[in-house]
Amino acid sequence: MTGPLPGTATLRWQPLRMATSANPLQLQTQGTLQGLPMAWVDALGLAETPAAAGRPAQPLLARMGLATSILLDGHWSVDTTQGPLRASASLRRTSGDLHILAGDANAITAVQSSGQGTGAGAGAVIATEASASPAGSANAPGTAAGVGQAEVTLEIDGDALRAQLAWASERAGQVQASVSTRLTPGAPPGSGLAWAPDAPLAGTLRARLPDVGVWSAVAPPGWRVRGTLDASATLSGTRNAPRWAGTLGADDMAVRSVLDGVDLQGGRLRATLQGNQLQITEFRLQGGRGSGARIAGFSGNRTAAPQDGGTLTASGRVSWGDSAAASTGLSGIAMSLQAEAKALQVLVRADRQVSVSGQLQAQLQQGQISLRGKLTTDRATIILPDESAPSLGTDVVVRSAAKDREDQARAQAAAKTSQIAAQAETAKPPDIAITLNLGRDFALSGHGITTRLTGEVELRSSAVPKAPPRVTGEVRAEEGRYRAWGQMLDVETGLIRFNGPYNNPSLDILALRPNISVRAGVQLTGSAQAPRVKLYSDPELPDAEKLSWVVLGRSASAGGAEAAVLQQAALALLGSNGGPTPAAKAASRLGLDEIGFRGASAGEDASAAALTFGKRLSKDLYVTYERSLSGTLGTLYIFYDISRRLTLRGQTGEKSAVDIIYTVKYD
């Protein structure tokens, strides 16, 4: 026989003997099958439905992330002429191996461009196709499992039925399983054998997987798993009420994703099988230790990154009902799990570090999942990029065979989920209520702002089907500072209130420039999806005056150089979209808050111009060093805010003095 892939199979059998006049039917047959390629399973019509665009259907093995060059031999024997039924059948590997695919290999990308650069016809089309070795090829891509034995046997002797499975490989583990039961004559008499609901069961299972990481290829892209798995169990009871007894253990478990910053390791699992229940007696996982992320300064982290990754422990049980319960439309599966995190580092990227502690409880009862818990952030460092990554233009269309397969698989999974949800009338939406406390060391930096966040929010599932969860609570900015237009502003009020979707909180943020006699800055209100930004001052001033106080630190003059400087500052503001200026970037690299230039005041000549370097040491203490462009000495200023109106200023250098400044505002 020849099949859909290279190779041939040979089928031989002895003469078939059958007596139809006898009651019951008498049958005698036996034969062998040699050299059957396992890859021919793709010819059974189990491939996915072709895409609407006419793309060929993806084979079953490829969808499972597998390729194989295994050849199988088999035999069968059936004899009812000597009394009770005696039958046997087996299928075993003779050569070849199983490959676990790691993704599309030998991808070819073709770029085609057309058009004149403008208009709807302009643009580029990028098409990618994957060309890989056939699934049945010995050179198929992926990781070889190192299969040494693969055999399935089935035997019937009268009313006794026995089945055995033997699997042995270097990297895909070893499995030894056997099960036996009894068959009963069907009704009416002579109709054959049947498997009664109360048929007894007896069996054993011994499985060992020395390297779980070999199956990382079937995990989401970028994710890797590791560990060993060992299971030993016995089966008893009946077909409708099977009973298990045994143990399940896993060691050196690890889950890692470099892109997402997840690095959980050192896992250990111990569980026991008792009847129809899996009792988890021990589950332990250690957090990652790969991040030293820290935001410096009094607005940043209070503590250094922890050296210990923390732990996650859990226990609980999972039970399942018999087949009679399943026939009523309920799965019969119930679950109760309790987990506790102690300073668990869930993110360990160079720009993101998060450690949490708290407890979680998960339950599954009568088809509804409920999740309860309270988590507290022990420490967090979130560093956001000041600029987003570049993206393709709207006139660029990407066509990828791999992307088409992903989109189609996602659409099929969604359709299947919707179908199952429509058929299962007893299914209920999840019930989620989790409280998250941000703690005292949750630091955020990016897009010009550096601050610690405090507060508490509650995550709850929505009563509307398929709607995103609702978030309620309030987050506050503590010791926040916002860099804008070359200046470092203090966040006096920073409130983010959640009362609905997580992506649209209300905003109440006020950032003021320090060490000036007028309260001037920027105010942000509205919501995240519809923010309103405006200049702020107290007392109320025209926008030109507000901008002068924020950018220059003093009132705008009627004309001359001051107006020109203010105009240049406004142009810089509009041209950079509020981004950091070169001076601000240099100050950040040096650990300073300000690097600026002070021009000559009224009545002074150009030699009074100076460079200034500023650093805020605390909320009320600010240090500035001023170096004249014409002099040889500099001046060190120390500002200390005793109250809102009273400031103590000390200076040393060319002149030494101590001043007490009291500010009175009037119109």
Place of tokens 């199956």: 215
Q: Please tell me which residue, 327 or 147, carries the higher pLDDT value.
A: 147
Greater model confidence, 475 or 421 = 475
Confidence tier at 51 by pLDDT (50, 70, 90): very low
| pLDDT 10s digits, 77-121 | 999 888 788 999 999 999 999 887 754 444 445 555 555 554 444
> In the 8-state DSSP scheme, what is residue 136?
T
Query: Is the pLDDT confidence value at 425 over 50?
Result: no
| Proportion of the chain above pLDDT 70, given as a percent | 75
Look at residue 457 in the predicted model and tell me its pLDDT.
93
Place of tokens 């002429």: 81
| pLDDT, position 413 | 63
- Average pLDDT of the chain to the nearest whole number: 79
Q: Is the pLDDT of residue 44 over 60?
A: yes
Q: State the average pLDDT over residues 563-577.
A: 50
Distance CA 16, CA 76 (A): 12
How many CB atoms within 10 Å of residue 603?
Answer: 6
Q: How far apart are CA 561 and CA 547, in angstroms?
A: 16
Residue 329 has pLDDT above 80, yes or no: no
**Residue 426 confidence class, pLDDT cut points 50, 70, 90:** very low
Cβ neighbour number for residue 313 with a 10 Å cutoff: 15
Whether pTM exceeds 0.85: no
Most confident of 338-352, 564-578, 604-618: 338-352
Q: How many CB atoms lie within 10 A of CB 1?
A: 11
Query: Which residues on adjacent β-strands are paired with residue 314?
Result: 283, 339
pLDDT tens for 436-476 read 999 999 998 887 788 999 999 999 887 666 677 889 999 99
Average pLDDT over residues 513-537: 85
Paired with 365 in beta bridges are 368
Whose CA is closest to 253, among 231, 208, 286? Answer: 286
pLDDT for 581 equals 57
Positive or negative, the CA dihedral 379, 586, 482, 524 is: negative
pLDDT at 623 over 60: yes
The alpha carbon dihedral of 394, 396, 401, 403 has a sign of negative
Task: Give the model's pLDDT for residue 107.
Answer: 43
At which residue do the structure tokens 């047959």 appear? 29
Which range has highest mean pLDDT (61-65, 223-227, 269-273, 488-492)? 269-273
Q: Do the bridges between strand 193-194 and strand 201-209 make them parallel or antiparallel, or are there none, so unpaired?
A: unpaired
Question: Does residue 493 register a pLDDT over 80?
Answer: yes
* Most confident of the ranges 49-58, 86-95, 594-603: 86-95
| pLDDT grade for 288, boundaries at 50, 70 and 90 | confident
Q: Is 517 helix (H, G, I), strand (E, B) or coil?
A: coil
Give residue 440's pLDDT.
93
- Mean pLDDT calculated for residue range 342-366: 91
